[in-house]
Structure 1
Amino acid sequence: MTLVAIKYTRGKLEILDQLLLPTQSEYIPVKNSGDGWNVIKKMQVRGAPAIAIVGCLSLAVEVAEDREHSTVGDLAHFICDRLHHLVTARPTAVNMAEASKRLTTLMKDMAAESGQRVDTLRERFMKECEDMLEKDIAVNKNIGKYGADHILAQCKNKPVKVLTHCNTGSLATAGYGTALGVVRALHEREKISHAYCTETRPYNQGSRLTAYELVHEKIPATLICDSMAAILMDQQDISAVVVGADRVVANGDTANKIGTYQLAIAAKHHNVPFYVACPSTTFDPNLTSGKDIEIEERPSGEMTSVKGIRVAAHGINCWNPAFDITPASLITGGIITEFGVFSPADLKAQLADCLKTDN
């Protein structure tokens, strides 16, 4: 049974507080978009797909109870304004921005229709947000399938050893996961001989969250420090590195959790295929290269203290970017999507064709 990070019924949303894991499992209520912004900003929920889903559902919960905006124009304006605000909580991840853009267009188009009713607009918005939750799980399972197929084809269907970074499982999505979904799919086929996860400093999403999921799923796994990845590849015959993504741009450059770039460099040196696993909603064709991606910087306290205990010398300066950019040239295995595995160079054209057919 996979972990459930997001609990939703019409008018009610709770999220698993990921700051408390792995020692405590506590769900906290999210009653409106203000709560949604806060849990995203504080990283009580994280992972690009989950950020978008929780952000939109937090607004759906608010809209379900809203009776202040009594005209179509007022309600549409309110929804669009709150969607824009939710994007500011974590600007590097594109999924929330993509959802905001899509839903804003829908609300404006509906508001412009003559004879439109407030209840109809409210219902349509809530349904669109709820569909995101259901669709994400199906998308993730396709990512897992295509990723497992591709890796096993490269390894002649032999059991594999996979290294992953940060957390990309059920805790980062609506369920199943992206990069960790690939690991899960391999495990379901009894083809994962071992999974390795980095601790992912400074926020320890790997040691706190990915390790938690791997133990929960009874997947044979080992935790390593971030600084051990290169020697792991040298000594443990790693079959593939599979990571997630917060944004993939037109040329295939990818923003992901800090430390991803150095993993890709080490993988290239050791001839280990390097994969990025993400839904098509993570692709941003509007940015030309990774240099155009805004990189969020986090507070220095995340580096200098662990659970409130100071671990760094007082007075030291800190630089704490939350993400780095992996150049497309280092993504040697391919980019795994719900439509298949594509090379970074082909991704834009391939996704355009797939999305056209899908629609």
Structure 2
Amino acid sequence: MVRTIDWIDGAIELIDQTRLPGALEKRRITTLDDLIVDIQRLAVRGAPALGVAGALGVAMIAQQASSLDEVHANAALLREARPTAVNLSWGVDRVMKRIDEGPAAVLTEALAIRDEDVAASISMGLYGADLVRSLVTREKARIMTICNTGGLAAVERGTALGVIQTIFEQGWLEEAFPVETRPLLQGARLTAWELTQMGAPFRLLVDSAGPFLLSRGIADAVFIGADRIAANGDTANKVGSFSLALAAQRAGVPFIVVAPESTVDVNTETGEDIEIEDRGSEEVTNFAGLRTAPEGTRTVNPAFDVTPHDLITAIVTDRRIVRPALGQTMRNVDLGPTRTV
């Protein structure tokens, strides 16, 4: 299995996701500037993968810097490369706690984060599959999802798409329905590619068809990932998630968030406190180098939206299931084990 991001022979190696599905290319990252650029241009993306990128990035910085002051300054730059996904800053902050022990200790901690992410993806898949089995009465499940939440968004397997993979491996996935995810088509370019690689049955939907098709009974559940989960369960994820949540409530379909514990930010009380990244006009007025709107067209382009907790049936992490719609919060549900079976 090709890992999305890893530490190989003293440098960061990552899949350049901007090249998919046309080409599977790996990049070797040896400078902070290259890592920040790749994060911002979405060569590496997805909350768990960003956490690993932040951790490995600090390990790289620590090996190259001439002073602790330089490490702290560069770590601060890396931490702010993308504001909405909490995992990036979490990964940076966790390994920085060991900076006084030297570069080797920082690298050890970064590799631990990488390995924990793999274990978390397996555990989320198991928790999520068991939950869906308890909620879906049909013999086989039909799952709608948005953006890309598979192995490309983590080190391996992933979050929401990782649950779909587990259900497929267990033999009871009827069909997956990824939405294309405008404007950068992560659902079409990345999720469809990953589903093809695993051999899972799927059909791709345009974004605007998702809510209507939920009302017509096309899916038994909706899965999304998360870039930040507030203490009350409000969830920031790829823009378009809120629309699917509203449609799922109307259709009586479970709406399930899947994310590791590292995406939970109990210091952020509600979704109102989450900074939402705006990615500017270029992504909306152009595609693949071609202009799709008149010159000078102004846009509003939030990369994420926030789904209120009362629309969320369950939040599945690697260590628990939280039911926000029933009044549970990320503070009042105890952690369980990381599952392997």
Q: What's the TM-score, normalizing by structure 2?
A: 0.94
Please say if 1:192 is aligned against 2:191: no
Q: Which residue of 2 aligns with 1:136?
A: 117
Contact 2:46–2:227 under 8 Å retained in 1: yes
Q: Distance in 1 between matches of 2:168 and 2:258?
A: 17
For structure 1, list consecutive stretches of 5 or more residues without a partner in the other structure.
112-119
Quote the offset at 1:134 in angstroms.
Answer: 1.0
Q: Deviations along 1:333-359, whole A, 9 cap, x unmatched?
A: x000011211124242345x328x88x
Q: Distance in 2 between matches of 1:3 and 1:244?
A: 21
Please say if 1:281 is aligned against 2:280: no
Q: Secondary structure at the match of 1:40?
A: helix
For structure 2, list consecutive stretches of 5 or more residues without a partner in the other structure.
none
Q: Secondary structure at the match of 2:200?
A: coil
Amino acid at match of 2:11: K
Q: Which residue of 1 aligns with 2:318?
A: 338
Question: Bigger radius of gyration, 1 or 2?
Answer: 1
Q: Which residue of 2 aligns with 1:39?
A: 38
Q: Which residue of 2 aligns with 1:20?
A: 19
Q: Distance in 2 between matches of 1:157 and 1:83?
A: 49
Q: Which residue of 2 aligns with 1:322?
A: 303
Amino acid at match of 2:62: V
Q: Deviations along 1:77-130, whole A, 9 cap, x unmatched?
A: 3333222211211100001112233333343xxx3xxxxxxxx52111010011
Q: Distance in 2 between matches of 1:250 and 1:106?
A: 27
Contact 1:31–1:62 under 8 Å retained in 2: no
Cα distance, 1:350–1:188 mapped onto 2, change above 3 Å = farther
Q: Distance in 2 between matches of 1:152 and 1:81?
A: 48
Please say if 1:349 is aligned against 2:341: no
Q: Secondary structure at the match of 2:55?
A: helix
Q: Distance in 2 between matches of 1:181 and 1:266?
A: 23
Please say if 1:304 is aligned against 2:285: yes
Contact 1:3–1:171 under 8 Å retained in 2: no
Quote the offset at 1:239 in angstroms.
Answer: 0.9
Amino acid at match of 1:88: E
Q: Which residue of 2 aligns with 1:152?
A: 133
Q: Which residue of 2 aligns with 1:53?
A: 52
Q: Which residue of 1 aligns with 2:104?
A: 123
Q: Deviations along 1:280-328, whole A, 9 cap, x unmatched?
A: 1101111111111100000211011110011112232211010001000
Contact 1:11–1:62 under 8 Å retained in 2: no
Aligned residues: 336
- Structure 1 stretches of at least 4 aligned residues deviating more than 6 Å after TM superposition: none
Q: Distance in 2 between matches of 1:335 and 1:246?
A: 13
Worse-superposed segment, 214-223 or 46-55: 46-55
Please say if 1:251 is aligned against 2:269: no
Question: Percent identity between the aligned chains?
Answer: 37
Q: Deviations along 1:55-92, whole A, 9 cap, x unmatched?
A: 3213323433x3x53xxxx33x3333222211211100
Q: Distance in 1 between matches of 2:217 and 2:294?
A: 35
Q: Secondary structure at the match of 2:204?
A: strand
Q: Secondary structure at the match of 1:222?
A: coil
Q: Which residue of 1 aligns with 2:62?
A: 63
Q: What's the TM-score, normalizing by structure 1?
A: 0.89
Contact 1:194–1:220 under 8 Å retained in 2: yes
Q: Which residue of 2 aligns with 1:231?
A: 212
Q: Distance in 1 between matches of 2:127 and 2:243?
A: 25
Q: Distance in 2 between matches of 1:78 and 1:185?
A: 43
Contact 2:48–2:154 under 8 Å retained in 1: yes
